[in-house]
A = this chain, B = another copy of it.
Amino acid sequence: MPDDQRRTPKQVRGQQRVSQILDAAALEFAEIGIENATTNAIAARANVPIGSLYQFFPHKEAILDALVERYLTGLRTVFENTLSADSLPIEVVIEQMLTGLANFELSHLGFSTIFVKSETIHAEIVQRVEDMLTRRYPHLTPETRHISAAVGVGIVKGVLPLTAHLPVELVLVEIKTAILSYLGAVLNRH
């Protein structure tokens, strides 16, 4: 359909460019660090003139923010597909969520670098996990649920980088073990 080809509207072009820039930024951040990445290098990597980059992002930090936002959007789908399954055993839910995160990294190269540094992503995940705990363990105090969720997310953030030296599957098993045993200890304690 020639119509389809011509249609390619400006908005789509714009979104494509934003996407290119974000992809390039994620890789650049992951490779040389967020602070060391330069807007010029990101633009070059994205094959986008620096002026165009600044048409979409007012400043460097906005690129990071947009990347976080993009990840958050994707992550929400992961959460909804996993954490909400209140009828499944907790081990299964945790496992599925971790698998979801692992797949997310595969389809969003560079994600884990930002995940480990973003307070926003951290807070969002903690909140989701807290909600899940609230539904499953209503007898726990809100404080306990909050800290348990925060510790769980902390474990993921701390252990995930081991994938740099160890097989992903192995690391995921250990994270699952760590989280479930920690949760068991918490439930035991209260």
**Which residues of chain B are within 8 angstroms of A44 by Cβ–Cβ distance?**
none
Query: Is A49 part of the contact surface with B, judged by Cβ < 8 Å?
Result: no
A39 CB → nearest B CB, Å = 15
Of the listed residues A158, A162, A174, the one surrounded by the most CB atoms of chain B closer than 10 A to its CB is A158
Say whether B174 contacts A180, CB under 8 Å: no
Checking B35, B150, B159, B182 against A36 with a beta-carbon cut-off of 8 angstroms, the contacting residue is: B35
Indicate how many identical chains form the complex: 4
A178-B182, A186-B177 known; A170 vs B147 contact (CB < 8 Å): yes
Q: Per DSSP, are chain A's interface residues mostly helix, strand or loop, or mixed? A: helix
**Which residues of chain B are within 8 angstroms of A161 by Cβ–Cβ distance?**
154
Query: Is A88 part of the contact surface with B, judged by Cβ < 8 Å?
Result: no
Instruction: Please report the total number of A residues contacting B with Cβ < 8 Å.
Output: 31
**Which residues of chain B are within 8 angstroms of A12 by Cβ–Cβ distance?**
none
A-side residues, CB < 8 A to B, are 33, 35-36, 147-148, 150-151, 153-162, 165-166, 170, 174-175, 177-178, 180-182, 184-186, 189
Residue of B nearest to A151 (CB): B174
**Which residues of chain B are within 8 angstroms of A165 by Cβ–Cβ distance?**
150
A4 CB → nearest B CB, Å = 27
A189 CB → nearest B CB, Å = 8
Residue of B nearest to A186 (CB): B177
Say whether A166 contacts B150, CB under 8 Å: yes
A156 CB → nearest B CB, Å = 7
Say whether A162 contacts B166, CB under 8 Å: no
Say whether A154 contacts B162, CB under 8 Å: yes
